[in-house]
Amino acid sequence: MNTFVTETVSILTNAAMLFVVAAGLTLVFGALRLINMAHGSLFMVGALTVASLASGLTGGWGFAVALIAAVGLCAALGAGIEISILRRLHDREPLAQLLATFALVLVAADLAQRVWGTSDRTVATPVAGRFSVGGAVVPEYDLIVIGIAAAVALGLWLLLARTATGWRVRAAVEDPETLSVGGTNLALLRTSVFALGAGLAGLAGAAIAPLESVGPGLDTQIIVAAFIVTVVGGLGSVVGAALGAVVIATVEGLGTLWVPSYASSAGYLVMILVLAVRPWGLFGTPDR
């Protein structure tokens, strides 16, 4: 029972962060038809921002301020990148866009090393409390992380299902030309969605900072995980990102428990399996 509760909370915490990262990636893919390799770099910037602010801003509220600053910085960076680089490549072939975002990965990694150095940092857990459920001790911060992901899921659902802006985002996935003919400023919509995706990457990075060591390499590590999740869930689908995150976190969590030496390949195996059976992912659409 103890192990079950501890494992469940730990799997859900991982799933929560994977979902927030993957949701950003999948939204950007849907509305811009762009695979953003630099999504992991924005995640790393989010984590590093919190790491450098955390020493000055301590405690729960201090951390909240650092988190909001990280999200704001990443969203602003995202908007800047979209306007200055990606917008110009929008009508080019997908390979040009992919290469541009890959170039951004390299530039971001280099810049991050100049600004933040090469050594790993640790961030103190902003809320150190623990409580016991069924005999197991659960860190309060894990529940906060799960709560953040739940809030993101709810927020995205409300946005996409209930607001005209959300309908525009969905319409842009289907038929951007018809949307612009109807009077929507597509360039503005694309910039906004990219900034939202970047903000989500930053949020995930900021929230995970107290749980992992923060430093170079975080970018590539998370982008691979986020790709696995989105491919399993279906590129472009937010619901798919949520399901994919739970599936991958569960497989990796149980893998670590039962076959530790193979755990790191578990996610890839699931991805290969899904690709073989349903190449468009669990919630994707076949014709894209």
Partner 1 sequence: MPHTTTMATMLELTDVDTYYGASHILQGLSLKVGAGEAVALLGRNGAGKTTTMRSVLGLTPPKRGSILMDGTEIARAKTHRIARQGVAFVASGRRVFGGLTVAQNLELAARTLGKRAAADGRTLEDVLTVFPKLRELADRRAGFLSGGEQQMLKLARALLGNPRLLLLDEPTEGLSPAVVSDLGRWLDRLREQGLSILLTEQNALFALAHVDRGYVMLKGRITHEASAEELRSSEEVRAALGVG
Binding site for partner 1 (CB under 8 A): 164, 167-168, 170-171, 173-175, 177-187
Distance CA 270, CA 207 (A): 26
- As a whole number of angstroms, the longest Cα–Cα distance in the chain is 60
Residue 154, phi then psi, degrees to nearest 5: -65, -45
Q: Each residue of 19-40: b (16+ CB within 10 Å) or e?
A: bbbbbbbbbbbbbbbbbbbbbb
CB of 172 to partner 1, least distance (A): 9
- The strand pair at 130-133 and 136-139 is best described as antiparallel
Distances (CA, A) of 12 to 5, 226, 249, 271: 11, 15, 7, 19
Q: Are 211 and 145 in contact (CB under 8 A)?
A: yes
In whole angstroms, the minimum distance from the beta carbon of 21 to partner 1 comes to 24
When the beta carbons of 120 and 174 are compared against partner 1, the nearer one is 174
Nearer to partner 1, 173 or 226 (CB): 173
Q: With respect to partner 1, which residue has the nearer C-beta, 52 or 180?
A: 180
Q: Which is nearer to partner 1, 173 or 274 (CB)?
A: 173
Cα–chain center distance at 254: 22
CB of 118 or CB of 185, closer to partner 1: 185
Least distance between partner 1 and beta carbon 39 (Å): 24
What's the closest the beta carbon of residue 190 comes to partner 1, in angstroms? 12
Task: State the minimum distance, in angstroms, from the CB of residue 197 to partner 1.
Answer: 19
